[in-house]
Amino acid sequence: TIVVEDDRTGLSVETLKRAFQDNLFYIQGKFAKIATQNDYYMALAYTVRDRLLRRWLTTAETYTHQGVRTVAYLSAEFLMGPHLGNNLISLGIYDEAKQAIGELGLDFDALLEQEEEPGLGNGGLGRLAACYLDSMATLDIPSIGYGIRYEFGIFDQDIRDGWQFEITDKWLRYGNPWEIARPEWSVEVKLGGHTETYMDEMTSRQRVRWVPAEVVMGIPYDTPILGYKTNTATTLRLWSAAAAESFDFAAFNSGDYFRAVLQKTVSETLTKVLYPNDESFQGKKLRLGQQIFFVSCSLQDMILILTRQGIPLDQFHEKFAIQLNDTHPAIAVAELMRLLMDEHAFEWDAAWSITQKTLAYTNHTLLPEALERWGLGLFGTLLPRHLEIIYEINSRFLEEIRLKFPGDNDRLNRMSLIDEAGERHVRMAHLACVGSHAINGVAALHSELLKQDVLRDFYELYPEKFSNKTNGVTPRRFMVLSNPRLTKLITSKIGDGWIKHLDDLRKLEAFVEDADFRQQWRQIKFDIKQDLADYIKQANGIDVDPASLFDIQAKRIHEYKRQHLDVLHIITLYNRIKANPDVDITPRTFIFGGKAAPGYYMAKLIIKLVNSVADVVNNDPDVRDRIKVVFLKDYNVKFAQRVYPAADLSEQISLAGKEASGTGNMKFSMNGSLTIGTLDGANVEIREEVGAENFFLFGLTTPEVYALKAQGYNPWQYYNSNPELKAAIDRIASGGFSNGDTNLFNALVSTLLYKDDYLLLADYQSYVDCQDGVSRAYRDQDHWTRLSILNSARMGKFSSDRSIREYCKDIWHVKPVAIELKE
């Protein structure tokens, strides 16, 4: 008998080829002769999407039919990275697709490269949301991600004359094959205007009505998120703003056609562009507009989902567990209250009980300048009704504190949802804490610091709300997809169970004493480094030696992350060479990658410094190629996947007490990189897992940082008493990397000498000593390889599957639901 597979679902190589050619013709409207690389990419993408759809629709159908409890993950950012490769992995047809494309005479890797990644996030927080969607789908957890469909995501970074230059990210330019628009499920969001009270005839109660100045339409775009080798495909639902037709209709009728059409562009501005700052808050009205927009759309959507199923809204908290990814969606506290009371006639107490039981809040930052505070003027203008609700929440909340802590007025001021100092502000973290039943930090240290410091008063009032949920990352994208060679080697030894149960990587420990295995491990690392070296040659024109130690710091550029401490070490090595050209140096390639917020001058100056040091060091014949410095432009998810597997050493050198968790630290280590790091964020737990002897630790601890600052920190003391430190800073200050210009890096040098908020000078010696230890260790390649294997083997804890299981058990109380595909 002949078995003919369906062109839309069949997984054999032959069927994939046929489906690909069909999509090229019927979707792209092209044939081979005139097809572009992008047409081929699109044809393959649609071929893959077709194969997701049955699972996706069956998942949706199952959830609707069974009315299951669902996690709604609310996040202003989802940094998904390219979908194609990941979906092929999840479907288990990566090799088949590669073969099919190859047999058609096309370059499979080039097609994967073609995908313009959806960069709808800044860094850690947005990428965490993406890893969590992958894990929720993989663990069969009913879930939906809600966010914003920015027309322009995080800018593309170019480097011109050593400086960062921003280019708009036109990711939608050639269409997005992964999303399906659902205009029929659009909702309306109100903005501005005023409120009024009226008598509700039905209940003869006073109620409030919001008369907005503007109404914007939210159109949902859905993207399937398929779990790894399971039938569950959950949804990422992103909202796009459009003019509400019913609204400009009035203007149209009054003859003001132009105003009506112009109104359209104003509405669409809301979801135009992602704000590119992380860890620094600016009270921009448009940003508050984005927040209420996606939160209101999402909550209305959940209400509609229940209503369509005939489930009464007093069960809202039983059907949805909403997670707030930082305070960006914290307006949900007031918006859910408003929807329940003003639009669905709930009383305050009932609405409040539902709201608190539904919401949970994750904090992602300890930096005071990152905490969101909205000026009351701006807030009241855009959200008059929400401000009233927040005042009412606040007055009830303060009453609760008065009862519990009589006479403690300082406490009232500290905890109030309104900051009364100077211009009055709404404190979004406080709103999130009061309106949620659970509050968590993202690493053990961070969660402790929240309780002792940033949210101390809230911890004293509600200790039972607090917990830790250490971040994790998905091994599907960051090992299987990004490091196929290592994946194959690991699987050849321990089978492929580790991909869903990362703790199984421990089984690798049994092979550490196997010289043949170590040899293979080292060869793979070398080959991957060779690939990155080829890329560097082509992108930066710099020759680097794959046998040298690849020392990589890749993450957003920020003073607290201390990229410039890394630079001080490089300059120290350079100075040693200049002082004694025959000094014994372990050859190293220093690689940096990361974007600076466009308005963050110091971060941009750090990029310029890296590039300037690179120019000098790479071209000085005295160096004899023993050290090389490379800044790789436009670091994004796609590129990160190439970088993590190629590292020997991962730089995790933030000042203790500043990095909430870090997740790049986990991705490097999983791929067999060793870490040099401080006791900050999740580094603490990584070191616990891999063992102190497999981790290069340096620097002050958080209590030591606090003590040093309390006693009055003086950077000059370190500068004056440490000749190598002084020489490094002096070389920058005296124009050694700026052709004698002593002005260029002045802002950086004087910040270090006069302020040094992030204690680079205090940690310098400890860092350099530790780096000298790294250099010695790297000389024994076989020893280094053992450490590398042990790093991967002991990273099981840092799978996002573990994080998600903890959220499910402790916060969401959601259970897996298996999806059965009907024939």
Q: Are 609 and 569 in contact (CB under 8 A)?
A: no
Q: Choose between 359 and 442: whose C-beta lies nearer to ligand 26W.
A: 442
For ligand 26W, the closer of residues 194 and 284 by Cβ is 284
In the complex with ligand 26W, the residue whose CB is nearer, 784 or 807, is: 807
Can you list the pairs that 773-781 forms with residues at least 24 positions away whose Cβ atoms lie under 8 Å? 773/696, 774/549, 774/551, 774/649, 774/674, 774/676, 774/696, 775/549, 775/585, 775/586, 775/588, 776/586, 778/549, 778/586, 778/648, 779/586, 781/522
Query: CB 279 → ligand 26W: shortest distance, Å?
Result: 5
Q: What are phi and psi of 770, to 5 degrees?
A: -65, -40
The secondary structure of 51-82 as a DSSP string is HHHHHHHHHHHHHHHHT--EEEEE-S-EE---
Max Cα-Cα span within the chain: 92
For residue 107, CA distances in Å to 40, 102, 613 come to 10, 6, 38
Query: Which residues are known to be catalytic?
Result: 364, 555-556, 561, 663, 667
54/226 Cα distance (integer angstroms)? 11
* CA dist list (Å): 614 to 367, 608, 632, 738, 752: 31, 10, 11, 11, 21
Nearer to ligand 26W, 117 or 659 (CB): 659
Query: Cβ of residue 355: shortest distance to ligand 26W, in angstroms?
Result: 23
Contact 336, 354 (CB under 8 A): yes
Which residue is closest to ligand 26W by CB? 124
Residues 681, 660 contacting (CB under 8 angstroms):
yes
Q: How far is the CB of 746 from ligand 26W (least distance, A)?
A: 28
Shortest Å distance, C-beta 277 to ligand 26W: 5
Q: Cite the beta strand spans of 617-724 per DSSP E.
A: 627-632, 649-652, 674-677, 696-697
Q: Residues in the site for ligand 26W, rule: CB under 6 A?
A: 122-125, 128, 277-281, 326, 364-365, 370, 372, 442, 471, 659-663, 681
**C-beta closer to ligand 26W: residue 636 or 738:** 636
Least distance between ligand 26W and beta carbon 214 (Å): 24
Contacts of 441 (CB under 8 A, 6+ apart): 362, 363, 447, 448, 449, 450, 468, 469, 660
CA angle 80, 85, 86 (to 5 degrees): 50
Single-letter code of the amino acid located at 659:
E
> What is the rounded distance in angstroms from the CA atom of residue 179 to the CA atom of residue 176?
6
Minimum distance from residue 126 beta carbon to ligand 26W (Å): 7
Strand partners, 591: 552, 630
Gap between the terminal Cα atoms of the chain: 20
Q: Which is nearer to ligand 26W, 471 or 671 (CB)?
A: 471
Nearer to ligand 26W, 122 or 792 (CB): 122
What is the nearest approach in angstroms of ligand 26W to the Cβ of residue 372?
Answer: 5
Q: Rank residues 337 and 439 by Cβ distance to ligand 26W and give the closer one.
A: 439
Displacement of CA 211 from its chain's centroid (Å): 37
Residue 274 Cβ vs ligand 26W, minimum distance, rounded to whole Å? 10
